[in-house]
Structure 1
Amino acid sequence: MQNHTTMSPREFLKKYHFDHRMVDGSFYPRTPLGVGPGDRVGVVLFNLGGPTGLDGVEPFLYNLFMDPAIIDIPLPAMLRDPLCRLIARKRAEGVREEYALIGGASPLNEHTRQQAVLLERRLADELAAATGATFHTYMAMRYAPPLSEDSVQQMHEDGITHVVLLPLCPQYSKTTTGASVVYWHALQQEGCMPDWPTSLIFEYATHPDLVCAFSGRISEGLSRFAEKERGNVHILFSAHGTPLYEKTRRHDPYQDLVFSTVRAIMDAWDGPNPHSTAFQSKVGPAKWLSPSTPDHLGTLADSGITRVLIVPVAFVSDHVETLFELDMEVRKEALEAGIVKYEVCEGLNDSPHFMDCLVDMVRRHVQSADGSAPRSPQ
């Protein structure tokens, strides 16, 4: 392992080329790791990250715009770097205003930290005795600290022997989990980390505990409506959009996985509520997954629907795209379109059912040295 463990956005861009493994996650196997006494398992929580203060907004945007895994434009590093710096600087003022309205920083970092703490505690209680191994959790954000490099350094110091990669995106996409995985793999290829035995949790879009977690948030959201109205509230599942070509040309499974999550939730839901799915956060002129959340709200209003509950179905933590975009910006558009009562579900955050889901996914990716899988506590 090299002492120098940092890769700048320019360095990564120079090494990057599209690899179909970004679409199917096959950089790493999904098979369980055999672990036993003395082994130290590092569970890496992948997420995109967010600025920890208003001064961090511009660097966050620069890192985001520089990532070819999500913005794949045919520009060499020497041209893309100054362009992205310019765009980040111009966009930062408006984006800082958005973060100022939700507390001056992204809450995603604190939510992820809490998830990591709770998960490590649960793994110690439920898997350590069954396997003889110890379990340690690490946050690996893609565009703001703590970065993957920070996690790698700490894992090396902690003597980690095996790694489980756990994306905090239930539905796999090249532009989210794929972006984190390809960068992690690039660090490994550069010798910035040991060659740890690794297992990737690809997706958990229909996991029963994830479904329960979303159902709980929907029940909480509906409680904000008058009791006589609740059965008629339209449940609108809103997922982050992606460029349409990611699905049509590269066969990104994301949209299908989002739909599978929605089906699983509504199959388990015992209420009469109508529902639909839309996609938010479109930027740029390219075609994205449709319908867009604001446009679809207008269509719902035109059809006479006046009460809507928004479920952020592809996010597991509240952040600027739920607290500002959905709860402030889109709310204003919805009310102007004719929606009378508009509510947004809280993110899963530290939901006990969501933590059950994460524990079970890690459990599925480790096994005792004798080949037996750890059992769930009864």
Structure 2
Amino acid sequence: MNNKKGKKGVLLVNLGTPDQPDTPNVRKYLREFLMDGRVIDIPFAQRWMLVNLIIAPFRAPKSAAEYQKLWDERGSPLKYYGEDVRDLLQKELNGDYVVALAMRYQNPSIASGLDELKKAHVSEIIVVPLFPQYASASTGSVADKVMELVRKWQIIPNIRFINQFADDPMFIEVIAQRAKKWMEQHDYDHYLFSYHGLPERQILKGSVGSQCQLGKCCNNYHDKNRYCYRAQCFLTSRLIAESLGIPEDKYTVAFQSRLGKTPWIQPYTDEKLVEFAEKGYKKVLAFSPAFVSDCLETTVEVGETYQEQFLEAGGERWDLVESLNDHPLWIECLKNLVLEKAS
């Protein structure tokens, strides 16, 4: 290493998690998360009343109960897998890099992660939002917060962002490897790729011209829709299916976790479960390729809630492919992403 260039910094950023699975901490987390103007993109006054007077007070107790299902002896999987990935990536990148972990909401904060890199006197910072598919409410929000904080520094180093890795071959391969163990044990009637949803208006805001129709336009991926979240989700699903030899008519792409009464991107996962039962699908293998760590949306929502709904509708078996977590190939994937961006 040329010491004159100094070490490079890597900031891994995931969404976030409450500090504890109780109502006060969950309420605090929800308020910070949902008050982000990129998450709920309505005027501030309306957003403040919606979040602080309706959503946080009434949703926090229910969400806390869900988080309690997720919590284990190490705490929140999203946080401790993040810590594991940080440490493993640090070993892979050796002394040329300093790797820090942050959460967009709650702890460890982006401010603390950036401060750690600043104190290490890094020559540049590579920000890796841990969201495979770009969305303004996730990746865009991370970039927004990083720039808000760094612009106050006297000396601003070179900063690079990895905006998406939805079609990265190694990312696809990790998921495929996770799925193969299930497919070797069971014959599934159908496969579901369930992604976190977004309001349709957010997709339309990012549309290039009249490209986005929220329909079959997402089946093709090209320059004009490369940052369309929905198109990226279809792309990731298509590549995983091809890797596993799953025919097009045997898998479905759908979206979960919608909030409020405004239209969110479709099809909706919960509605597809009913359709699966009507079509006679008895065994389904589910994927959650929008998340790199086990979390509330994967383990509880897809792994438990959707399983219960599917079985109640007449299904017989529902399995969930684990998230990437600390898989060795996932660490190698991150290493390659960083080295490519740093070159």
Task: Please say if 1:44 is aligned against 2:14.
Answer: no
For residue 154 of structure 1, give the secondary structure of its aligned residue in structure 2. helix
Summarize the alignment of residues 315-330 of structure 1 with structure 2, pairs less than 5 Å apart.
315-330=291-306
Equivalent of 2:59, from 91, 99, 103?
91
Question: Which residue of structure 1 lines up, in the alignment, with residue 171 of structure 2?
Answer: 210
Q: Which runs of 5+ in 2 are unaligned?
A: 208-226
Letter of the 2:192 partner, please give it: L
Per-residue CA deviation, residues 298-334 of structure 1 (Å, 9 max, x unaligned), is 1111111111000001111000111111111111111
Summarize the alignment of residues 89-168 of structure 1 with structure 2, pairs less than 5 Å apart.
89-103=57-71, 105-124=75-94, 134-168=96-130
Summarize the alignment of residues 182-221 of structure 1 with structure 2, pairs less than 5 Å apart.
182-189=144-151, 191-192=152-153, 194-221=155-182
Contact 2:21 2:71 in 1 (8 A): no
**How far apart, CA to CA, are the structure 2 residues paired with 1:223 and 1:60?**
40
User: What's the offset of the Cα at 1:110?
Assistant: 0.5
Equivalent of 2:191, from 235, 249, 255?
235
Equivalent of 1:361, from 321, 337, 342?
337
Question: Which residue of structure 2 lines up, in the alignment, with residue 285 of structure 1?
Answer: 261
Question: Which residue of structure 2 lines up, in the alignment, with residue 268 of structure 1?
Answer: 243
Equivalent of 1:65, from 34, 41, 56?
34
User: What's the offset of the Cα at 1:83?
Assistant: 4.8
**How far apart, CA to CA, are the structure 2 residues paired with 1:51 and 1:193?**
32
Task: Please say if 1:303 is aligned against 2:263.
Answer: no
User: What's the offset of the Cα at 1:247?
Assistant: 1.5
Question: Which residue of structure 2 lines up, in the alignment, with residue 20 of structure 1?
Answer: none
Contact 2:270 2:306 in 1 (8 A): yes
Letter of the 1:306 partner, please give it: K
User: What's the offset of the Cα at 1:353?
Assistant: 1.7
TM-score by length of 1: 0.79
Question: Which residue of structure 2 lines up, in the alignment, with residue 181 of structure 1?
Answer: 143
User: What's the offset of the Cα at 1:85?
Assistant: 2.9
User: What's the offset of the Cα at 1:271?
Assistant: 5.2
Contact 1:47 1:177 in 2 (8 A): no
**How far apart, CA to CA, are the structure 1 residues paired with 2:26 and 2:295?**
13
User: What's the offset of the Cα at 1:82?
Assistant: 5.8
Supply the RMSD in Å over aligned alpha carbons: 1.9
Contact 1:106 1:320 in 2 (8 A): no
User: What's the offset of the Cα at 1:159?
Assistant: 1.6
Contact 2:7 2:97 in 1 (8 A): yes
Contact 1:169 1:315 in 2 (8 A): yes
Letter of the 1:42 partner, please give it: G
Per-residue CA deviation, residues 132-165 of structure 1 (Å, 9 max, x unaligned), is xx20111121111001111122122222221001
Question: Which residue of structure 2 lines up, in the alignment, with residue 28 of structure 1?
Answer: none
User: What's the offset of the Cα at 1:287?
Assistant: 0.6
**How far apart, CA to CA, are the structure 2 residues paired with 1:71 and 1:239?**
18
Distance 1:224 1:98, change over 3 A: farther
**How far apart, CA to CA, are the structure 1 residues paired with 2:206 and 2:163?**
17
**How far apart, CA to CA, are the structure 1 residues paired with 2:49 and 2:189?**
48
Summarize the alignment of residues 253-264 of structure 1 with structure 2, pairs less than 5 Å apart.
253-264=228-239
Letter of the 2:166 partner, please give it: A
Question: Which residue of structure 2 lines up, in the alignment, with residue 249 of structure 1?
Answer: 205
TM-score by length of 2: 0.87
Aligned residues with identical type, % of pairs: 30
**How far apart, CA to CA, are the structure 1 residues paired with 2:120 and 2:174?**
32
User: What's the offset of the Cα at 1:233?
Assistant: 3.2
For residue 280 of structure 2, give the secondary structure of its aligned residue in structure 1. coil
**How far apart, CA to CA, are the structure 1 residues paired with 2:258 and 2:197?**
6
Distance 1:193 1:358, change over 3 A: farther
Contact 2:40 2:47 in 1 (8 A): no
**How far apart, CA to CA, are the structure 2 residues paired with 1:194 and 1:85?**
37
**How far apart, CA to CA, are the structure 2 residues paired with 1:200 and 1:101?**
34
**How far apart, CA to CA, are the structure 1 residues paired with 2:154 and 2:201?**
33
Per-residue CA deviation, residues 30-69 of structure 1 (Å, 9 max, x unaligned), is xxxxx84241111011211111312421111010111001
**How far apart, CA to CA, are the structure 2 residues paired with 1:256 and 1:102?**
30
User: What's the offset of the Cα at 1:220?
Assistant: 2.4
**How far apart, CA to CA, are the structure 1 residues paired with 2:328 and 2:36?**
33
Letter of the 2:140 partner, please give it: G
Q: Which runs of 5+ in 1 are unaligned?
A: 1-34, 129-133, 368-378
